[in-house]
Structures are given as C-alpha cells and as structure tokens.
A = this chain, B = another copy of it.
C-alpha cells in the first residue's frame, strides 16, 4: 500500500492524528523498569499498549537508541516489530548524506527495520533524498520549518523573494508528489499555509506541541485537508512520575494520550 493511503486509512480508523514519540531515555523511565533485561524495550512495549487506541502511530528518534549502544539498537529493532501493522512507523533520523550512503540508510531503516517513513535534512540536495524515494510504499518527511530556537538562523534567509524553507518545500515537491512530506514545527504551521491550502495533500509531520509547547487551535487552522500527524513525545511518555508503580505510571500515560487525542479530534 502506498504511504499516503496507509496514512489516510489509519487516521480514519483510529480517529487520531497523534503520533507518540518514543524518545525513550533510560534516565527518565520509571525506576521499577530498571529490573528488566532491556528496560528501554520493556518501557516502549508498555507505552504502545497504553496509547495504541488513541494514536495513529509512533515516531522513534534514533538519537535515543544510538545513545544506549547495543541495548538501544536491540530495543529499536524489537519496538518497530512490536508496533501494530496498521499504525505508522516513523524513523526520526534527520539524515542527509551522499547517494551511496543515503542508499545504505534506506536499506537500514526501510528494508531491514520496515519503517514507513523517515525524516531527512535537505542541505545536501537531490541525491541525498532520492534513494529514499525508490520504494513506493515509503515516504520522506523533509525538514522544512523546524520548531527549535535556531530554526531561523538559515531557514528564513531570503533568496530572491522567497525564504530558503520555501525554496526547499517547492523543490522537494518537484522531486516527488507522492513520497514527500514536510516536517513543520507547530509554531510555524501558518507559514506553510500557501502549500497546505492548495489541497495537494502533503503529509505533514508536526512536532513542537507538548514539551515544546504551542497552541493546538492555531495549528489545526493551518493544516487544511492535508494528512497531518502531530507528534507528542515527552508530554505523553513521561506523564507519570519516576517513582510511580507500573500500573499507576501507565494509567497516567494512557489518560494523557486519550485527552490529547480527544482535544485534537474536537478542534479538527
């Protein structure tokens, strides 16, 4: 199934535009999980169990798994397998490298780990992105407008009448209509209205609500009819307290996911 079809289908069936970010940090998970052989994996499985009914998928930021060495890599592999087949599996990698290297990343994250999509940094241009467009059922979310404080350093440089991020958005849509999505911080969604309002259905991946804080209502006014996914990581997966007992911790996670998803649904 092509990516956009799977995305539309799961948004409909789950009644959710939420993706839960599994930014799992061994120093933040409940203490009672440290007894497990692989605490990161055990925690992720419980998070998935607690949130799957209120989300459309999961985003795994590779940094958290790389920082945990071999155990992190095992957790990454097993977590991806554990996610339900109809849910979106997004690899937050922000990679960008020359063609032969990009191809290797595509093999690693699309073929071996079976992620549905990957986030990519556009600075190196077409041949750093194109290897990720060869598989018809996969999608590349290009960093367009990020949510962090340094985002304006280069993304808002003007070249001619356009900002750098606009030039990247337009050029990347020329590379592929079907397999390109945008990463747009929740604080910057207004800026991309000119693309979203054209109703081309560009998949949007939107971080920056929750721990990074931003207004959900403004955000949803800007996404139009595009198949957007809103990411929340820390605000959901660490909704409990480190000292909580397991069942109490995940009750809080479950409720946070439920209410966050409900508020997105109600406003949308």
Q: What is the interface of chain A mostly: helix, strand, loop, or mixed?
A: helix
> Is A136 in contact with chain B by the CB < 8 A criterion?
no
A215 within 8 A of B: no
- Which residues from chain B contact A261 at a C-beta distance below 8 Å? none
Task: Give residues of chain A (102-142) contacting chain B, Cβ–Cβ below 8 Å.
Answer: 102, 104-105, 107-108, 112, 121-129
Most buried by B among A61, A123, A127: A123
CA distance A127 to B70 in the complex (A): 28
A124 and B150 contacting across the interface, CB-CB below 8 Å: yes
Number of interface residues of A (CB under 8 A): 52
Partner of A159, one of B67, B124, B164, B171: B164
A266 in contact (CB, < 8 A)? no
Q: Report the copy number of this chain in the oligomer.
A: 2
Chain B residues near A94: list those with CB within 8 A. 95-97, 121, 124
User: If the complex has contacts A63-B108, A69-B73, are A168 and B150 also in contact, measured as CB distance less than 8 A?
Assistant: no
Chain B residues near A159: list those with CB within 8 A: 157-159, 164
User: Can you identify 22 A-B contacts, CB atoms within 8 angstroms?
Assistant: A25-B104, A67-B105, A67-B112, A70-B73, A70-B74, A73-B73, A94-B96, A98-B147, A123-B123, A124-B143, A124-B146, A124-B150, A125-B146, A125-B148, A125-B152, A126-B149, A128-B148, A157-B159, A157-B164, A157-B167, A158-B159, A159-B159
